[in-house]
Amino acid sequence: MFYQANGDYELELKETLEKKESLFEASENIESNNKKVQEFDNQILTFLQIEKFKKIFAQYTIKENDDEQETNEKVMVLLDQQEKEAFFVKLHTLICCKTRICLSKIDNEFAFQVFDSIRKLSKKEYNMLLLGMLHIMICFKETTMHGKKKQYLIIKYTFNDNKICETAFQTIYLLLDKK
């Protein structure tokens, strides 16, 4: 009997040779890529050129930011002015009570300052302001049978020591708008 190879060994040998050839080709590609990278490295800017570029770039961005800040400030001034005008129109067109005497007693500029400062409060600060206003309105009168004082809530709407109606009070203190 003769020994016959089934051909598996030959196939494995061919596959390993092909893998070695592909690895050799890959290493050649890596070497050529390294040469290209080295050529590219030689074309990179010098340190002085990079520093000059950074200076120019920094000057450009500062100018851009200054222009942006100026436009933002102008827009904010315009918005504040429009808010002020809208508040004055609201005060003058407000139908608060029958006599409208309460609004004539109010200094509009001071009312806007109060309105604006309240408008700029955060929600927590605004809630604290309202709690403080409620605390001021509490009045203790009479004692009960158990020895405790009765608490009453006195509702007097005043602004700058002048009595005003409820609607004017709500307008100035932003109580009609949800915050």
pLDDT at 122 over 70: yes
Higher-pLDDT residue of 108 and 27 is 108
Higher-pLDDT residue of 132 and 77 is 77
Residue in 104, 56, 113, 105 with CA at minimum distance from that of residue 84: 113
Per-residue pLDDT tens for 133-173? 777 777 666 666 677 777 766 777 777 777 787 778 778 77
pLDDT score at 78: 93
Per-residue pLDDT tens for 19-30? 666 656 666 666
pLDDT score at 82: 92
Residue in 170, 72, 58 with CA at minimum distance from that of residue 114: 170
Per-residue pLDDT tens for 62-106? 555 667 888 888 999 999 999 989 888 888 887 777 766 777 778
pTM: 0.49
Task: Give yes or no for a contact between 110 and 162, defined as CB atoms under 8 angstroms apart.
Answer: no
Q: Which amino acid is at 102?
A: C
pLDDT score at 140: 66
